Structure 1
């Protein structure tokens, strides 16, 4: 395929798709635990277990969705139709998940389990084809990093729009009626997300074509598992999502019970999101200057150090925590677009190794491990809060609960970032130099079946 420069309109259109996903995803990650425990009144231990089971079931559906998308044939392409036609039911179920029907406690738990599981499944139907779409819009590495940088700037803006505006919308729509406020707030945001997904559909084009799939699903799963670089990105994904999921889920508890000033939550979150915007914008110029793999592992190492340092900051040092959360916002969102480009690179690497371009199942597999990370992260928060004796009705939490909230916000993310840095430095070999070799040989129709780069070949 001849490479072409993507228009700004198409980059914005593609980015709008992830902005829509983050309007829902970030909202659920930040508010859903709090909504279930403090608004709907469900025990934290049950919510943690529900998150684990629902997300694990959803993760199992990811490879199925990827295989289905790879086999889709339509006049709109393989992946774009799923983005459009999954958008409306996705928005509707999101509103249902944030609803609080008058039921018994058992009824509430059943309702929450059903609606939350449906929400995660519909997210899969929309998001896996969307993520795979980025791998077929262009096969040019430079255009890919530009596309992903635009994507994550807009995704961050979408997440900021959702998380920062959610509580003002709750107060505006519901006033003292918080259940109504949460339902109305997410309804407004779901409409915005639907329009963004539609815009994504109409402004993007699938250019990288693969021959019709003739092998079995079992063969595709085997081939993707044999792609060693894909497996490594899977490990990086699970540790990075664990870091952001645990910290994000603990943030509202941290601001409320540790900083002791819940009224500054929106300002605290906004500070983090502004850092995210800057980090997304820095990804392209930094990777133009230095190999993206080097940028990736160094940034994760810095995140580990800063996250650990936060543990030692005095609880009353609110200003210091604002500085820390801003820097973490910059650094985390710097590595996110790089990680998704690395995912696209493993698709090219897999085609180079075995002659099969498995875009859909590759991204589905990555989202599978991402959701396993979400499942474990959400469950960990619920279980640890329950273990510490967290009680939303109390005016003050006990010392064990306080220690757990601090650890969830600082130490757990630090461990995850450190593991990501070590894995990327030691095992990921698709550096700028090596990827150039892969792309040149693919363009010439050459393959290097079952042969991977050795550590001696890695050049930064």
Structure 2
């Protein structure tokens, strides 16, 4: 369906004083949220399984594996703004964003399965193949995620409605993380571990990604998603506009650092379950269930808290809760397993709020700039945002891999972890606890004085 012009669409952010937009239908909330099946699966499974796949199945040294995980995602820093610019200028009967949801989403599914196809078996060639396949997959992800994240600023001009939209999205994201993060290791184990198990896991996650991409494309077909309007003539000019938005810069840097912290937790799950909990078979699944399960329950509570305190204040509170939970896990070797899982559930509560409020503040930044300048910049802002997010999600496993390398972690090509020294086990623990606590907790300092409104109490 052709989208109406932006000035005739009450759901598109307009100048201050415009009438309050009509609420979005529930089917649009649900349809848009389905895209998080794709973003959640791709954001979770590589961070969870790719590093141990390289070190414990392909026999790649931890330091080299860290670079193989980091460098392809660093490519997104260049690709994502380009994807944003192209989606801003796309003209189609489906609107500017939805064609990318379908085309790039299906490409993402196919390429993800290819990452774990292992046509060269184990060894250096296998590691090089994973790096190339991961690079191609990250590129496809950029062209799906950037238009997807850009859509809320165009679906509605109401900040409260965007928060509700993000609450739906984060709820599905939590479900996607739970399903992909908890079930993917089970698929590996159930289908024989090693190369064969990872091949089947790749196909499972690819199907989940395809379901999310097609669901988001179909679910938003009745929603107005804006029309092509005047924008900056060059990529350099667009980047200059984003760089000149101080609230966006602060929010972006905070979220990138926190994404790296969350990603170190994801990267360390398998290692933590094996070396600290001594439960390599069931530990990863239980950790994910405890981490993500509470998020599905507390999302409405976070939404109400955000309405009462303001999104920025709620983001700070959620971040500090996440950091405190991670730091408390330093005591995991002396705690019973039940207590460890309870602390991980506390992390999940903080993670849910940290995600929902950061993502709810982003479209506020975009809509504020659109209202101020009259130019649609959603693709550029979200291109930079997703570039930073994916870089942070890659930086986390990279940092964790370097911690393993420094602590003397021994790689294996047998499909199971080798015996590790006490020093290596300490590296597993500190990388999973202290490192993410510092990254997530200290990043909130960047939000001091953050506001979009002339009255600072408007954003708090």
Q: 2:149 aligns with which of 123, 126, 131?
A: 131
- What pairs with 1:221-240 in structure 2 (closer than 5 Å)? 221-240=239-258
| Gap change, CA 1:161 and 1:67, over 3 Å in 2 | same
Query: Which deviates more, 108-117 or 282-291?
Result: 282-291
Residues 23-67 of structure 1: CA distance to partner in whole angstroms, max 9, x if unpaired? Answer: 232111111111111122222211111222211112211111111
Q: Take 1:64 and 1:239, find their aligned partners in 2: how far apart are those partners?
A: 22
- Is the alpha carbon distance of 1:78 and 1:102 closer, same or farther for their aligned partners in structure 2, counting shifts above 3 Å? same
- 320, 328, 335: which one aligns with 1:309: 328
- Cα distance in 2 for partners of 1:104, 1:339 equals 40
Q: For the Cα contact (< 8 Å) 2:329–2:433, is it kept in 1?
A: yes
Structure 1 residue aligned with 2:22: 4
- Which residues of 2 match residues 243-322 of structure 1 at below 5 A? 243-265=261-283, 266-322=285-341
Q: 1:136 touches 1:209 (CA, 8 Å); kept in 2?
A: no
Moved more, 190-199 or 360-369: 190-199
1:208 and 1:93 map into 2 onto residues whose CA distance is 30
Report the Cα distance in structure 2 between the residues aligned to 1:210 and 1:240, rounded to whole angstroms.
33
More divergent stretch after superposition (263-272 vs 111-120): 263-272
2:437 is the counterpart of 1:421: no
* Correspondence 1:85-234 to 2 at 5 A: 85-102=103-120, 105-172=123-190, 174-175=191-192, 178-204=194-220, 205-209=223-227, 211-213=229-231, 215-234=233-252
* In 1, Cα distance between equivalents of 2:418 and 2:215: 46
Distance 1:105 1:386 in 2: 18
Q: Could you tell which deviates more after superposition, 96-105 or 19-28?
A: 96-105
Q: Which moved more, 1:242-251 or 1:133-142?
A: 133-142
Q: 2-side partners of 1:152 and 1:73: how far apart?
A: 29
Q: Which moved more, 1:410-419 or 1:240-249?
A: 410-419
SS in 2 for 1:302: helix
C-alpha offsets along residues 89-122 of structure 1, whole Å, 9 cap, x if unaligned? 2111111101222357332222111111111111
Residues 1:61 and 2:66 aligned together: no
| Structure 1 counterpart of 2:3 | none
Indicate how the Cα distance of structure 1 residues 357 and 238 shifts in structure 2: closer, same or farther if over 3 A, else same. Answer: same
Distance 1:414 1:366 in 2: 22
Distance, in Å, in 2 between the alignment partners of 1:192 and 1:458 is: 39
* Corresponding residue to 2:427 among 385, 404, 411: 404
Structure 2 counterpart SS, 1:357? coil
| C-alpha separation in 1, matches of 2:232 and 2:272 | 52
Contact 1:82–1:125 (CA<8 Å) still a contact in 2?
yes
**For the aligned residues, what is the CA RMSD?**
2.0
1:87 Cα offset (Å)? 1.9
Structure 1: 5+ residue stretches without partners: 435-452
Give the secondary structure class of the aligned counterpart of 1:40: coil
Change (3 A) 1:335 1:76: same
Deviation at 1:325, TM superposition (A): 0.3
Please report how far the alpha carbon of residue 256 of structure 1 lies from its aligned counterpart in structure 2 after TM superposition.
0.6
Q: Could you state the TM-score of these two structures normalised by the residue count of structure 1?
A: 0.89
**SS state at 1:262 partner:** coil
For 1:149 and 1:373, the matched residues in 2 are separated by 22
Report the CA distance between 1:337 and its aligned residue: 1.3
- Whether the 8 Å CA contact 2:106–2:213 is kept in 1: the answer is no
Q: Are 1:368 and 2:390 matched, yes or no?
A: no
Number of aligned pairs?
Answer: 435
Residues 458 and 75 (structure 1), Cα distance of their counterparts in 2 relative to 1, 3 Å cut: closer
**Counterpart of 2:355?**
336
Report deviation, 1:454. 8.1
Provide the C-alpha distance between the structure 2 equivalents of 1:395 and 1:155, rounded to a whole number of angstroms: 33
Which protein has greater RCO, CA pairs closer than 8 Å, 6+ apart? 2
Match of 1:47 in 2: 65
**Secondary structure, aligned partner of 1:100:** coil
Q: Secondary structure at the match of 1:280?
A: helix
The answer on whether the counterparts of 2:264 and 2:432 sit within 8 Å (CA) in structure 1 is: yes
For 1:14 and 1:101, locate their aligned partners in 2 and report how far apart those are by CA, in whole Å.
36
| Cα distance change of structure 1 residues 123 and 207 upon mapping to structure 2, 3 Å threshold | closer
CA pair 189-307 structure 1, distance change in 2 beyond 3 A: closer
Output the CA distance in 2 between the equivalents of 1:250 and 1:340. Answer: 24
